[in-house]
Amino acid sequence: MTRKHVQQMIGEGRDLTIYFLDAFVTILVAAGLKKEQSHVADIIQSRFSGDVEKIVRKSQELKKVLGEDVTSCESEMLYIEPDQIYDDATMEDTFQDQSVKENGVATEGVLCTTDLGLIRHEKVKENDWKSSVLLRPKIVLQSKLNAIVASDEDS
C-alpha cells in the first residue's frame, strides 16, 4: 500500500479497516464462496478486524514518519476497472485482439485486468505530480469473452 493510496483513501473519509474487510468479502464472494455476503462479512470482521486494524494503524504511522515532503517519487499498482475503454498507451491486451481495435482504441470496454501494471508519480512542484506508466497492466477485452461464448455455442 503506497503512501499516496493511503492519502487518497483518508482524503475520502473512509475507515480503512472497513474498506479492506469489505474488499476481502467481495473477493471471497466473487471467487465463488457459496455463503450469504452478510454472513461472510460477519465471519471476516469477527476473525480479522483486529489484525487489519493493526496493519492500517502501522501504515498510517509509517506515512507520518516518511512525511509529506520527503518522498519525491512514488510507485503505485495500476489496475484497470471493468468497462473502461481500451487505451493502448496505458494498458496491454492479453490476447492482442487487433480485430476490435482501430488505431489502438477498442470499441468495447475492458472485461478484467489479468496482470497489474505500475505507475510512477513524481513530485514536480509543491502540490504538482507528474504520472507516467512504467508497466502497462494486461487486460482482457469484453469482445474476447463474447468470441469464446459464440464459439462454444457453435460447437
**Residues pairing with 121 in the sheet:** 74, 131
Report which of residues 98 and 109 the model is more confident about: 109
Of 43, 71, 99, the last residue of a domain is: 71
pLDDT digits (tens, 9 = 90+) for 22-79: 999 999 988 888 889 899 999 999 999 889 888 888 887 777 766 655 567 888 999 9
- 7 pLDDT band, cuts 50/70/90, is low
Q: Among 71, 96, 128, give the residue marking a domain's end.
A: 71
Same-domain status, 2 and 33 = yes
* Grid cell listed for 125: 512542484
Burial 1-24 (b: 16+ CB within 10 A, else e): ebbbebeebeeeeeebbeebbbee
Residues 2 and 15 both lie in one domain: yes
Pick the last residue of a domain from 50, 71, 92.
71
Listed range (1-15, 101-115, 134-148) with the worst mean pLDDT? 1-15
DSSP 39-89: HHHHHHHHHHHHHHHHHHHHHHHHHHHH-TTT-SEEEEEE-PPTTPEEETT
**84: containing domain:** 72-155
Query: 113 and 83, same structural domain?
Result: yes
For residues 82 and 154, state if they share a domain: yes
Q: Are residues 31 and 77 in the same domain?
A: no
